[in-house]
Chain A
Amino acid sequence: MAVCIMVIVKENYPFYVRSIPVENELKFHSVVHTSLDLVDEKISAMGKALVDQRGLCPGLLYPTEDYKVYGYVTNSKVKFVTLVDSSNTAHRDNEICSMFWKLHNSYTDVTCNPFPNPGDRIRPRVFDNMVTSLMTQVC
């Protein structure tokens, strides 16, 4: 089960954080922050060899003792990072990538909302519900 999903914008601050259980949020903040460097490293390493049809999906960033960290970058330098419980059997890259594509679609819908200014931290209900369903579904 996905334990935490975080959306980090271009300026490298977290736009949206969701974790289960909520108490561990601070720990997840630090884990995700350290993984940002890895995301950048993987992207610059991929460079010319980019073959994915949709989005940059470097996939597994690194495993820790409890969690595995996966990352994804959009064309507008927005990064999605998710932590998944290590106790589950290995997830296939496709599943993780398709989860990120759904997240990306929902995020695009959120940005198209004309009411909040860009950069405001909002918690739109539709995005929330979608994230909840993704977190419970990835097992």
Chain B
Amino acid sequence: MADTVLFEFLHTEMVAELWAPDPDPGPGGQKTSLTVLESMGFRVGQTLGERLPQETLGFREELDVLRFLCKDLWVAVFHKQMDSLRTNHQGTYVLQDNSFRLLIPMASGLQYVEEAPKFLAFTCGLLCGTLHTLGFQSLVTAFVTALPACKFQVVIQKP
């Protein structure tokens, strides 16, 4: 289906545009780009969090919300479910995707591992935004050990 790649192309261009050579290079510039990507993802996540759960029943607890993220949200955005969800039952969850759509076209293995985080910033923001709409403050970070597998660590913050 053509429409699955549209978002991938758009996302690749977004990252490329934000990383275009800057007259003011340095770690500060890169950080801003990551923040911009994350905040874009956050805003998208907020609206997805409003629209997607319309058909589902009320979430009774945190784990239900995380399951919703792994199944419904991931299917809606990436057309596949998350591969694994682990938790320590104390507010930390690790979501693992073994073939993350946005990393598949890049490489398979250890090549480009340093470049991978910028392609995950938008998705981190997306998870954070959706959780925010559903009532949870969270901190989302992403790790890549070998493309195209990646892990998202979600820490739910208690108020």
Contact = CB atoms under 8 A, between A and B. Distances in A.
Interface stretch (B1-9, B15-23, B45-53, B117-125): B45-53
B82 to A, nearest CB: 19
A111 B60 contact: no
A104 B53 CA distance: 11
Interface string A27-50: 000000000000000010001101
Interface in A51-65: 52-56
A118 interface: yes
Q: Give the dominant DSSP class at A's interface.
A: loop
B134 A114 contact: no
A54 B55 contact: yes
Given A10-B135, A75-B59, A76-B135, A55 B47 contact: no
B4 to A, nearest CB: 21
Interface in B38-84: 43, 46-47, 49-51, 53-60
Interface string A65-107: 0000000011111000000000000000000000000001101
B33 interface: no
A75 B58 contact: yes
A92 B57 CA distance: 22
B133 interface: yes
Q: Give the dominant DSSP class at B's interface.
A: helix
Contact of A54 (B43, B54, B135): B54
Closest A-B pairs by Cβ, 7 of them: A75-B53, A112-B47, A76-B133, A111-B50, A108-B51, A56-B58, A108-B50
30 contacts: A10-B135, A43-B58, A50-B57, A53-B57, A54-B54, A54-B55, A55-B54, A56-B58, A74-B50, A74-B53, A74-B54, A75-B53, A75-B54, A75-B56, A75-B58, A76-B49, A76-B50, A76-B53, A76-B135, A77-B135, A105-B54, A108-B50, A108-B51, A111-B47, A111-B50, A111-B51, A112-B50, A112-B51, A114-B43, A118-B43
Given A77-B135, A118-B43, 15 more contacts: A43-B58, A47-B60, A48-B60, A50-B58, A73-B58, A74-B53, A75-B54, A76-B53, A104-B54, A105-B54, A108-B51, A111-B46, A112-B47, A112-B51, A114-B43
